Amino acid sequence: MRSEPIRMCIACRKRNSKYRLLRFVVKDGQLFFDPDYKAFGRGANVCPSHSCLKKAFNKNLFERALKTKVALPASYEDFIKNILSVIRDRIVNGVRMGLKFRGVVSGREAVKRYLNKEEVSLLIIAEDLSERSIAEFEGLAVDRCFLLTKDEWGAVLGRDPVGVIGIIDEGLARKLKLLIEKYVSLNKRGSLNGKK
């Protein structure tokens, strides 16, 4: 098994897998979040926590790490909103793509069918699903998260409101879990492997 590349957070100086950190780059003097870790140039890595991001933002540690002048957003709140928006879009697009290549199933009955065959790697449950419906998916040996609403997932998938989504492609599930961990750690909405 290949080892993951290790990077250091510019705020707390702790080392972690680069995939567990947020990467930022500078383009034309502006700071950009690089969720795919592929943008050209020097990158600055930060833990996906408010304490590290706030410290990096307030002290503009990005300039030091990137060795260039960096224009930051007007406020820390704008900075976080931008990061959350990009991560949310990546999660939504990942689920959409998974639906196209049959790596995703949606709807309670379809998901239950795949759960019975032990083919679901990640379970995404709408935040506003009823407690009774959630109870049907308790105690399973599968990672699960609470994210977005039934109406939001319905709009993403182009159908009526959707309360449960099963990710059956293991590679997509791994990628989505990393994105969801970051989204949940920075947002007041959602949870991973916990209660709503």
pLDDT for 125 beyond 70: yes
Residues 62, 147: Cα–Cα separation, whole Å: 30
- The letter for the amino acid at 34 is D
pTM of this prediction exceeds 0.75: yes
Three-class secondary structure assignment of 25-88: EEECCEEEECCCCCCCCCCEEECCCHHHHHHHHHCCHHHHHHCCCCECCCCHHHHHHHHHHHHH
**10-45: per-residue pLDDT in tens?**
999 999 999 999 999 999 999 999 999 999 999 999
Q: What's the average model confidence in pLDDT over 98-114? A: 93
Q: Which domains does the chain have, with CATH numbers?
A: 6-72 (3.30.1230.10), 88-192 (3.30.1330.30)
pLDDT of residue 1: 58
Whose tokens are 């609470």? That residue is 146
**39-70: per-residue pLDDT in tens?**
999 999 999 999 999 999 999 999 999 999 99
pLDDT of residue 193: 60
pLDDT-based confidence at residue 4 (cuts at 50, 70, 90): confident
pLDDT of residue 3: 82
